[in-house]
Amino acid sequence: MENEAKKRILSGIQPTGSFTLGNYIGAVRNWSSLQTDFDSLYMVADLHALTVRQNPAELRRHTREAAAMLLATGIDPQQSILFIQSHVPAHTQLSWILSCNTQFGDLSRMTQFKDKSAKHADNVNAGLFTYPALMAADILLYNADLVPVGADQKQHLEMTRNVAQRFNNLYSPTFNMPEPYISKTGAKVMSLQEPDKKMSKSDTNVNGFVLMTDDADTILRRFKRAVTDSDGIVRAGDDKPGVTNLMTIYGSLTGKDFAAIEKEFEGQGYGTFKEAVAQSVIDTFTPIQAEYSRILEDKEYLDGVLAEGAQKASRIAERTLRKVYKKVGLLQL
């Protein structure tokens, strides 16, 4: 698994419910295709989920479901290391050291912190604020070269690079500089109701998002209701955010570019177009959902994969942590 010749990838996703179409197009779908060419680690970021209040039983269930869904999308535990963040204690341990090397000012500039603290004004906790230091630990523990994420995580990645650079300058070269891997299309899938906003499962309007576990009828309904515009022409452009978003989704799932999509729906109304987009999503999710149900029922298999993943990830992470502890001057026994 630890092939020195291959570059290393790490990414993660929070188990805060079923994944959205945005999670899938922007991040998850790339993970299984990257695993053959890269030494890959994929993680369910349960510790990150705690920055927002969670129901404990639901968090536990969502964590298993998230792992099963990642396997269902094609992540192969023979090729990749799949694990749960809290199963590898080195993440929180390194996170503390990195927090002590992360500036208050830098953390204050994080747009996600600003958004989430506005959204959860009754729970602006310290974890929400220092979250990027934990994310930096996730990445730097494994010396990842590439981090495949959606556009909304770019700022956290820049922060990780800054922290790594500062640490390296202060204590001698220790961490690799990770690069974001953000796909050209679909890095930011927008809400189906408010196409100027990112698609998010925490949207209060359920018509704004599609979940990977949604059935065909729900998916079709969501797309039929999607906000477009009044000119009835399938064309991409800044003046047509709703239609452009639907074209992005359709293009991402079918491999067709904008020119081909415009041609395909020339002279046809939005009705036909929306149905085609919905169908491309249904065709993508139906086999994944079948696999997901199968894996979720096979508790022994899932537990086995996660136990092995935690063990393999720990081995790499602990090596980095030991090095860091020594460099910062913690007494070794």
What does the binding site for ligand TYM look like in residue numbers (CB under 6 A)? 10-14, 22-23, 25-27, 45, 48, 135, 138-139, 147, 149-150, 152-153, 187-189, 198-199
Is 116 a known active-site residue? yes
Please give the Cα distance from 284 to 290 (Å, whole number). Answer: 11
The residue among 116, 142, 119 whose CA lies nearest residue 130 is: 116
Q: Give the nearest distance from C-beta 139 to ligand TYM in angstroms.
A: 5
Residue nearest to ligand TYM (CB): 26
Nearer to ligand TYM, 140 or 296 (CB): 140
CB of 332 to ligand TYM, least distance (A): 28
Say if CB 212 and CB 19 are below 8 A apart. Answer: yes
Q: How far apart are CA 250 and CA 189, in angstroms?
A: 11
Smallest separation (angstroms) from ligand TYM to the CB of 168: 19
CA atoms within 13 A on the CB side of 161: 13
- Residues 63, 55: Cα–Cα separation, whole Å: 12
Q: Which CB atom, from 85 or from 228, has the smaller least distance to ligand TYM?
A: 85
User: Tokens at residue 105, please?
Assistant: 């000012």
Q: Among the options 188, 198, 240, 323, which is catalytic? A: 198
| Residue 7 a catalytic site member | no
Active-site residue (options: 7, 188, 201, 327): 201
**Closer Cβ to ligand TYM, 55 or 268, answer by number:** 55
How far is Cα 240 from Cα 233, in angstroms, rounded to an integer?
10
Q: Is 201 assigned a catalytic role?
A: yes
Quick one: which of 28, 39, 138, 48 has its CA closest to 81? Answer: 39
CB of 170 to ligand TYM, least distance (A): 23
Query: Would you please indicate which residues are annotated as catalytic (active-site) residues?
Result: 116, 198, 201
